[in-house]
Structures are given as C-alpha cells and as structure tokens.
Amino acid sequence: MKITSEMVKELRDATAAGILDCRKALEASEGDFDKAVDFLREKGLAKVAKRMSRDAKDGKISAYIHAGGRIGVLVEVNCETDFVARTDEFEALVHDVAMQIAALGARFVKREDVPEDVLEHEREVFRAQALESGKPEKVVDQIVEGRIEKFYTEACLMEQPFIRDEDQTIDAMVKAMSAKTGEKIAVRRFVRFELGESLPE
C-alpha cells in the first residue's frame, strides 16, 4: 500500500512522533492507522499512548441550528478537563463538528457503530447493483467492499472529509486537537433533526 504524506501527517498529529518514525510505522502496519499507533507505542515513540487509556468525561454539549431553523443538531464532544473544555479552540472544534453533522447528515459516529444488519442490507443492495450492471461474478465481491468503504466515508462522521477542508477528516481534526491539548478528545454521540423528516416506526 502506498503511504501518502497525508497519512503520515495524520499519524504525526495524533502521536507527536517524528515524521520518519510515522512513515516507518505506517509501512510496517501496511497503512493501518490503529496498528501504526500501536507500533509507535511499542517503540515508546507515541506521546498519545497515555492519553488513549484515560477517560474523557468532561467536554461540551453543543446545539447548532442551520438553514433557517430547518435542521438542528445536538452533539457531545468529550475531553478530560474543564480547562480544555472552556478553551476557544475546543469550542471551535465542537462547533465545526456540529456544523458538519448538519451539512452532511452523518448517521453514525464511527464505523464500529454501524449495526451489522445495516451493513448486510447495504451489501445486498450493492451486490444487486453490480450484478444488474453486468459485472462478472468474480469481481462483484471486490466492488461491494469498495462501495462499503465509500458508505463508511459518507455515513460515519469520523471518516467524512471536513466540509471546510476536504484534505482532512473529522477524525484527523479530533486527533490533532488531542495532540495539541495533551488530552483524550472524543465525539461521543449526536442527534440530528430535519424539519418534516419521517420518524422511525
């Protein structure tokens, strides 16, 4: 897998490790971010290691109203201390996250939150589309998994490109703030309302 400068920057922002160490970690883990973090932790190079094991129980719940009152968002973003929660940078991050949810309508915080039945339904739809378009059976599974990855980037908040800077994801923004503050920061949950939308039965 090709290791890009963006991948190196994201890992560096999250761990404060050196550029060469980050590249080496990504190469060793074949581009897997979490494995690369573990690699750096094992080598004693990741300053994020201690943060990842701590609890983030402070933070903010923020409301954001968009489009003349037609869309509303409540989001909870956690950090470790009230001191960080009251900083302008943290408040700006929470506002940006709420604005992102309003604009792009994420359904889940991260891919691990997507229920298996939702994934199975998406796979069935993508498989039917691929077969309908005449794709050979042997490549259908590969096409389906590629579309599942695209589904994650659209449906999962942390994997979406930030609307004001598409070169970085929401996950990268949160990790950069964590590296800057020295605290564990996490988007815990959100709810999005849109005027006139159908309610679940």
Q: Of the candidates 77, 116, 118, which has an alpha carbon nearest to the alpha carbon of residue 98?
A: 77
Same-domain status, 127 and 139: yes
Torsion over CA: 162, 166, 168, 171 (sign):
positive
The verdict on 62 and 104 lying in the same domain is: yes
Q: Is 50 exposed, middle or buried (0-12, 13-18, 19+ CB in 10 A)?
A: exposed
Buried b / exposed e over 119-134, threshold 16 CB at 10 Å, is: eeebbeebbeebeeee
104 and 66 share a domain? yes
**How far is it, in rounded angstroms, from Cα 152 to Cα 172?**
15
Instruction: With respect to residue 201, please indicate whether it lies within any of the assigned structural domains.
Output: no
User: Model-level pTM?
Assistant: 0.70
Domain holding 106: CATH number? 3.30.479.20
Q: What is the CATH classification number for the domain harbouring 144?
A: 1.10.286
Domain membership of residue 199 (yes or no) is no
**Domain span at 47:** 5-52
Residue listed under structure tokens 């949160």: 174
CA distance 189 to 61: 9
Q: How many domains does the chain have?
A: 3
**pLDDT tens digits, 85-112:** 999 999 999 999 999 999 999 999 999 9
40 and 79 both lie in a single domain:
no
Alpha helices in 105-196 (DSSP H): 116-132, 137-155, 170-181
SS3 142: helix
Do residues 169 and 162 touch, judged by C-beta distance below 8 A?
yes
> How far is residue 149's CA from residue 22's CA, in Å, rounded to a whole number?
24
pLDDT (tens place) for every residue of the chain, 201 residues total: 788 888 888 888 777 788 888 899 999 998 888 888 888 877 776 665 455 556 678 999 999 998 789 999 999 999 999 999 999 999 999 999 999 999 999 999 999 999 999 999 999 999 888 888 888 877 888 888 899 999 999 999 999 999 999 999 999 999 999 888 888 899 999 999 999 887 665
In a domain, 16, yes or no: yes
Q: Which two tokens stand for residue 69?
A: 């009152």
